[in-house]
Amino acid sequence: MSGIADRLNGVLEKISSAAERAGRDSEAVRLVAVSKTRPVGDIIEAHNAGQRAFGENRVQELSAKFAELPGGIEWHLIGHLQRNKAATAVESSSMIHSVDSVKLAKRIDLVASRAGKTQKILIEANVSGEKSKFGAESGDEMLKLGEICLELPNVSLLGLMTMAPFGAPESELHRVFSRLRQVRDRMERELGISLPELSMGMSQDYETAVGEGATIVRVGTAIFGPRQA
Ligand SMILES: *Cc1c(COP(=O)(O)O)cnc(C)c1O
């Protein structure tokens, strides 16, 4: 059975080849290793193999691992964030991928200002429109949210994040990922800003996402193995 380091390197190779096939620079795609539910030993193993960025979907778990693990790790909050947990998230997250409302953006700005920090954020888009998913559903809503984020001095809006429907066919994956890119392009044009980051692609679909322009892929299972239910 291969270990975490081998699987990590396998994922990095697949990212490189997918970027190459799309005529992109493989350096333009960063891997966030999704370590939710994994023990710290697994994270240390990946860290020792050279991985620096890790993603968690729960604030409490991220915060506990942030406190326990070495300072050089870059923590990404990728799951839904409740406003009353924004301060804890800001303390420990290098980037928050899941900003999905004006109220949450304003709350992050406030707690970041108290912490003397500028918080990097992404706006989450629910491109597929599934009811089970969080995120802004229309291009207009994204634009509005983007416009407001620009007025907040303690958040730095860097781009967009989405999740494709689980088990979707290849054609649907292309549609969802290219749609996120188009919304990003529209926001850049209409707001006159640069939004370099597209956080899209998980274990099942990261190669497709890289082909459609992902700059951050969030991969858990393909590195750490299946999670317990
Ligand atoms: C769990 C999770 C991932 C990683 O999922 P895998 O299928 O294990 O790669 C990526 N993004 C988000 C938002 C997640 O919650």
Secondary structure of 150-185 as H, E, C letters: HCCCCEEEEEEEECCCCCCCHHHHHHHHHHHHHHHH
The pLDDT score that the predictor gives to residue 50 is 97
Q: Which residues of the chain have pLDDT under 70?
A: 1-2, 229
pLDDT tens, 145-184?
Answer: 999 999 999 999 999 999 999 999 999 999 999 999 999 9
Ligand 1 atom nearest to 57, measured from its CA? 15
Cβ contacts of residue 85 below 8 Å, gap of 6+?
A: 59, 60
The pLDDT score that the predictor gives to residue 58 is 98
- 3-state class of 64 per DSSP? helix
- Angstrom CA distances, 81 to 69, 93, 178, stand at 22, 12, 25
**How far apart are the CA of 78 and the centre of ligand 1, in A?**
8
pTM beyond cutoff 0.75: yes
The pLDDT score that the predictor gives to residue 1 is 43
The pLDDT score that the predictor gives to residue 116 is 97
Ligand 1 atom nearest to 204, measured from its CA? 7
**How far apart are the CA of 225 and the centre of ligand 1, in A?**
12
Ligand 1 atom nearest to 161, measured from its CA? 13
Query: What residues line ligand 1, using a CB cutoff of 6 Å?
Result: 34, 36, 57, 78-79, 163, 202-204, 218-222
Which amino acid residue places its CA nearest to atom 11 of ligand 1? Answer: 218
The pLDDT score that the predictor gives to residue 229 is 67
